[in-house]
Amino acid sequence: MSETWWRGAAIYQVYLRSFADGNGDGIGDLAGLRSRLPYLSDLGIGAIWLNPWYPSPMADGGYDVADYRDIEPSFGTLAEAEQFIEEAHALGIRVIIDVVPNHSSDQSAWFQEALAAGPGSAARERFWFKDEPNDWKSIFGGPAWTQVPDGQWYLHLFAPEQPDFNWTNPEVHQEFHDVLRFWFDRGVDGIRIDSAAVLVKDFDGGDPEGYTDLAEVHDVYRSWRRLSDEYDERLLIGEVWFPDQERFARYLRPDELHTAFNFDFLGSPWDPAALRASIEQTIATHVPLGAPATWVLSNHDVVRPVTRYGRANTSWDNGNRRDGVPSDLELGYRRARAAALLAMALPGSVYVYQGEELGLPEVEDIPDELREDPMWHRSGHAVVGRDGCRVPLPWSGDETPFGFGTGNPWLPQPEAWKKVTVEAQQADLGSMLNLYRTALHLRREWLVGGGITWLDLGPEVLAFTRESGLTCVVNLAADPVRLPPHESVLLASGSIEGDELPSDTAVWLRTT
């Protein structure tokens, strides 16, 4: 079986609620997404990854799944989802969907059955019900246990509306095998696995050792790999957050997941030594396993790069978001452009989170009463959460909703976004949108396959060549640096005068 399409793919992440609204209710949906497929095709991406699109009470933006075999009514219907898959495939675009194996929604049929059945029932054995809770804390803040009226407690590593599955129960294993088949049979090309490392629980261990990266979790993914291998070219990608590369690599063994997100690169500061170390470590981890690396700058959980790279501390840490810390957005914008060319020049697949190609900053002034992220509520309003990177996209026009739809968006858009709409940027050859579009198309020609060879242009410059003859140079020094010998400039993130590359600028050179 060929396993090629994801090795060099450019994958575009769609947060459906915020992408495009087709029916005017202020919420993004499948009709809106389908209407924008030509935009994505023209952008040059090869696959779309969608965040959960299933029926959900939306306690956590859809990651509280009530039914895996249907579509959230505010997004559309199952028939529309099947039509979207068909239309995407007709444009040469693959489709990846989210699966959330750690937990359910408290409104799911299984959990409602468990509540009604009572202590000791088979229905409760699908989840973690205990007579006495331990001291584990929720990842979203507060205790990880909630008591039900009959006195028992159930585990939820995230929000109380997200009860954790009991992965020692064979019914849970069979349910997810059936779910994967349901969507593979409908033409879905890949599965992104949410919170992939925390499924298995050990209540005799500590916190977080009691639920993070236990050995039995790998048995789950070996069984998923055997299932996916029954289909043609189906991808499994894990959301795995580990600084320890040895533990990370276990998920990429030949009989487990095909790829996993590279959060070390995403979290690296705008620093040449840190970025080079991350790149070298990533390649060294993946090459022996025969797995493609992934390069990610942002997603629906992370402060947008334009804001992050404009701060004094440009690194990213999920546990220390530094919300509200001042940012020089002009500097951040320049660095985000350079970072995009760096990420796209590296071997493997690259992910683009919606709005990244528009250079959108984090929206940090959302009124408190409009915030929806459970992080905000569970932290006692101490953590503003992730709403700021989930604000609906601006497509056109001079006033809200900027072509997102005809109704008021579910989160408010800044008035300043009239300058960064798709419409405004299409007419500007120097825009972030046109930088991404040009880079993604050049990437298909120059940057699929092969490794990198580093060039020494000084300690504050990242420079490497690809086997195609393309050289990428990124200047992180305070002063301009001289470019190496080359035939022509293919693309630059900023203006270049002569052979001098300005600070915080990246360039792709043709060298052969």
C-alpha dihedral sign at 367, 368, 372, 373: positive
Domain count for the chain, please give it. 2
Predicted confidence (pLDDT) per residue in 22-56, tens digit: 999 999 999 999 999 999 999 999 999 999 999 99
The whole domain housing 473 covers: 451-510
How far, in Å, CA of 331 to CA of 311, rounded? 9
Kindly tell me if the per-residue pLDDT of 411 is higher than 60: yes
HSE toward the beta carbon, residue 171, CA cutoff 13 A: 9
The model's pTM:
0.96
Please report where in the chains the tokens 């991404």 appear, as a residue. 436
193 lies in some domain: no
Residue 26 DSSP code: S
Catalytic site residue 194?
Answer: yes
Contacts of 82-86 with C-beta under 8 Å, sequence gap 24+, read 82/186, 82/187, 83/34, 84/30, 84/33, 84/34, 84/37, 85/186, 85/187, 85/188, 86/187
Share of the chain above pLDDT 70, in %: 99
Asked which of 131, 155, 179 is the last residue of a domain, the reply is 155
471 lies in some domain: yes
Predicted confidence (pLDDT) per residue in 167-207, tens digit: 999 999 999 999 999 999 999 999 999 999 999 999 987 65
Predicted confidence (pLDDT) per residue in 219-233, tens digit: 999 999 999 999 999
What's the start-to-end Cα distance of the chain, in Å?
A: 34
Radius of gyration for the alpha carbons in the chain, expressed in angstroms and rounded: 23
Among 403, 408, 415, residue whose Cα is nearest residue 27: 408
Catalytic site residue 233?
Answer: no
Rounded mean pLDDT of 74-91?
98
> How many other β-carbons are positioned within 10 Å of the β-carbon of residue 381?
12
Please report where in the chains the tokens 């601006």 appear, as a residue. 394
Asked which of 91, 122, 155 is the last residue of a domain, the reply is 155
Question: How does residue 94 score in pLDDT terms, banded at 50, 70 and 90?
Answer: very high
455 lies in some domain: yes
491 lies in some domain: yes
Across the beta sheet with 94-99, what order do the strands follow? 259-260, 235-238, 190-193, 94-99, 47-50, 10-14, 349-353, 294-296
492 lies in some domain: yes
421 lies in some domain: no
Which candidate in 29, 161, 194, 372 is catalytic? 194
Question: How does residue 208 score in pLDDT terms, banded at 50, 70 and 90?
Answer: low
Residue 394, Cβ density class (10 Å: 0-12 exposed, 13-18 middle, ≥19 buried):
buried
Predicted confidence (pLDDT) per residue in 119-172, tens digit: 999 999 999 999 999 999 998 888 999 999 999 999 999 999 999 999 999 999
CATH of the domain at 504: 2.60.40.1180
393 lies in some domain: no
Kindly tell me if the per-residue pLDDT of 428 is higher than 80: yes
How far, in Å, CA of 127 to CA of 166, rounded? 5
Q: What share of the chain is helix, strand, coil (3-state, %, to 5)?
A: 30, 15, 55
Which candidate in 70, 86, 219, 230 is catalytic? 230
Q: Which residue has the higher pLDDT, 504 or 377?
A: 504
CATH of the domain at 136: 3.90.400.10
How far, in Å, CA of 510 to CA of 473, rounded? 11
At residue 361, what is the residue type? P
The pLDDT of residue 2 is 43
Kindly tell me if the per-residue pLDDT of 1 is higher than 60: no
